[in-house]
């Protein structure tokens, strides 16, 4: 027997990540879904929507992850796995009609901004960027006085890397009032911390590369929606543009998902401790972490998230040897446990000065360091940070 739909719906997310997407319980059947390596499937006669057909249309290895993610996000339909987060971004943006306006946070993930910017340069859409934490400004972009209403509102909250918090329900309502589609990039929060469909978002996007897979060993993306028409369009885009996941990557993503609840619990708790300590350190000029009561996003984050995530950003002050960016690079070079690398959401703590990327918006300060807190012992993480901060005094 597998769980009845009713019982499955009542499970808490910590159980869903472990229980969802299991094969049927036939005697001697494997308890984990197998990896299916086949580019095509037996079949004759006309191909229906539910036939597997060909390896670009579907693969049985995707299904368990797509079902598990939908259950976690509270979606009525299975999710859609993609080759990368950016392949998912591409599919979501394909829903914008020719010349339609897209409102995006000015501190969205840089790749999303770059893609929308390039489409705008070619005249395919109009891009309106805005400080997503400024609700009135966002509303003015969604429905400008006498101007064209937006076709899509892109939400990222918290933003990457500035950790701005949007007033999600309010903005979603304003977008729907003009018929715009709302897409929420939920990569930073995961469905365990924030469920965008519950506040009215039409589509949820994930870079599965980050927390969901969680081990920095796979690049994948996903979209989730409860709207059959939107899902059909997205699936069609995935088929004809070909941004599909490899079966082995899909298997790794589900394997990673099994420990998501434990990883989030540990890394969030550690991030809160590190934020408290870093905020008072003399070398830290500024800190952003929505879990600090002094943070501008604190009240909103408390109201709409279950926890505050495990990403924090600090700005390092300059000294007689150089400016803040130079000091930030020295700090990172002095670390022995933290890994100096881009990306986030893995079991290992990663640290990066964001402006090392040429594509990072210049409104991100050049001395800003993003910390993705992993699941190591928090005192070990702190000791490493403390010795590296101290090394700046010499």
Ligand X SMILES: *Cc1c(COP(=O)(O)O)cnc(C)c1O
How far, in Å, CA of 7 to CA of 116, rounded? Answer: 42
Q: In the complex, which residue's CB is closest to ligand X?
A: 85
* In contact, 289 and 163? CB cutoff 8 Å: yes
Report, in Å, the least distance between residue 260 CB and ligand X.
16
Across 50-80, b (16+ Cβ under 10 Å) vs e yields: eebeeeebbbbbbbbbbbbbbbbbbbebbbb
Query: How far out from the chain centre does Cα 40 lie?
Result: 31
* 111 contributes a contact to ligand X by CB under 6 A: yes
Residue among 52, 56, 279, 330 flagged as catalytic: 56
Contact with ligand X (CB under 6 A) among 151, 184, 187, 268: 187
210 is catalytic: yes
Phi and psi for 218 in degrees, rounded to 5? -155, 145
Q: Which is nearer to ligand X, 111 or 117 (CB)?
A: 111
Binding mask 138-177 for ligand X (x = CB under 6 A): ------------------x---x-----------------
122 is catalytic: no
Q: How many CB atoms lie within 10 A of CB 334?
A: 17
* 207 contributes a contact to ligand X by CB under 6 A: yes
Report, in Å, the least distance between residue 215 CB and ligand X.
14
Q: Which is nearer to ligand X, 184 or 315 (CB)?
A: 184
* In contact, 361 and 110? CB cutoff 8 Å: yes
Which of 180, 154, 178 shows the shortest CA–CA distance to 168? 154
Q: Which is nearer to ligand X, 84 or 195 (CB)?
A: 84
Q: How many CB atoms lie within 10 A of CB 347?
A: 16
* 307 contributes a contact to ligand X by CB under 6 A: no
Report, in Å, the least distance between residue 157 CB and ligand X.
10
How far, in Å, CA of 316 to CA of 332, rounded? Answer: 11
* In contact, 91 and 237? CB cutoff 8 Å: yes
Q: Which stretch binds ligand X (CB under 6 A): 67-75, 79-87, 141-149, 232-240?
A: 79-87
Which of 73, 32, 64, 50 shows the shortest CA–CA distance to 250? 64
Q: Which is nearer to ligand X, 171 or 388 (CB)?
A: 171
Contact with ligand X (CB under 6 A) among 13, 21, 79, 85: 85
* In contact, 85 and 221? CB cutoff 8 Å: yes
How far, in Å, CA of 332 to CA of 317, rounded? Answer: 14
Contact with ligand X (CB under 6 A) among 13, 17, 95, 109: 109
Q: Which is nearer to ligand X, 83 or 392 (CB)?
A: 83
Site size with ligand X, rule: CB under 6 A: 16
Structure tokens at 114: 């770059």
Interface positions, 221-250, toward ligand X (CB under 6 A): 221
* 209 contributes a contact to ligand X by CB under 6 A: yes
* 210 contributes a contact to ligand X by CB under 6 A: yes
52 is catalytic: no
* In contact, 88 and 223? CB cutoff 8 Å: yes
* 110 contributes a contact to ligand X by CB under 6 A: no
End-to-end CA distance of the chain: 65
Q: Which residues bind ligand X (CB under 6 A)?
A: 84-86, 109, 111-112, 156, 160, 185, 187-188, 207, 209-210, 219, 221
Q: Which active-site residues does the annotation give? A: 56, 109, 185, 210
């Amino acid at each position: 027997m597998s769980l009845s739909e009713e019982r499955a719906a009542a499970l808490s997310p910590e159980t869903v990540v472990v229980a969802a997407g299991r094969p049927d319980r036939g005697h001697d059947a494997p308890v984990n879904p197998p990896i299916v390596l086949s580019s095509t499937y037996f079949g004759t006669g006309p191909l229906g929507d539910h036939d597997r057909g060909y390896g670009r249309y579907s693969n049985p290895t995707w299904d368990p992850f797509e079902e598990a993610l939908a259950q976690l996000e509270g979606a009525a339909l299975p999710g859609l796995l993609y080759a990368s987060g950016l392949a998912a971004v591409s599919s979501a943006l394909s829903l914008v009609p020719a010349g339609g306006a897209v409102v995006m946070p000015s501190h969205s993930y840089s790749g999303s901004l770059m893609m929308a910017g390039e489409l705008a340069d070619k005249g395919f859409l109009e891009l309106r960027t805005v400080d997503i934490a400024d609700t009135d400004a966002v509303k003015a972009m969604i429905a400008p006085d006498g101007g064209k209403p937006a076709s899509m509102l892109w939400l990222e909250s918290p933003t990457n890397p500035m950790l701005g918090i949007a007033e999600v329900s309010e903005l979603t309502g304003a977008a729907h009032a003009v018929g715009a589609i709302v897409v929420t990039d939920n990569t930073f929060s995961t469905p365990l911390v924030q469920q965008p469909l519950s506040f009215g978002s039409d589509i949820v996007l994930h870079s599965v590369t980050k927390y969901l897979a969680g081990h920095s060993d796979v690049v994948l993306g996903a979209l989730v929606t409860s709207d059959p028409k939107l899902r059909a369009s997205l699936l069609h885009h995935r088929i004809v543009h070909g941004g599909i996941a490899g079966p082995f990557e899909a298997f790794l993503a589900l394997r990673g998902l099994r420990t998501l609840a434990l990883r989030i619990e540990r890394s969030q708790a550690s991030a809160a401790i590190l934020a408290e300590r870093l905020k008072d350190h003399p070398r830290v000029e500024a800190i952003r972490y929505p879990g600090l009561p002094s943070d501008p996003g604190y009240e909103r984050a408390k109201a709409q998230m279950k926890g505050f995530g495990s990403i924090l950003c600090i700005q390092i002050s300059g000294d007689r040897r150089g400016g803040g960016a130079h000091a930030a690079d020295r700090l990172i070079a002095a670390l022995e446990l933290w890994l100096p690398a881009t990306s986030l959401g893995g079991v290992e703590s990663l640290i990066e000065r964001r402006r090392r990327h040429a594509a990072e918006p210049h409104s991100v300060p050049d001395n800003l360091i993003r910390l993705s807190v992993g699941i190591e012992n928090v005192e070990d993480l702190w000791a490493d940070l403390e010795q590296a901060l101290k090394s700046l005094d010499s």
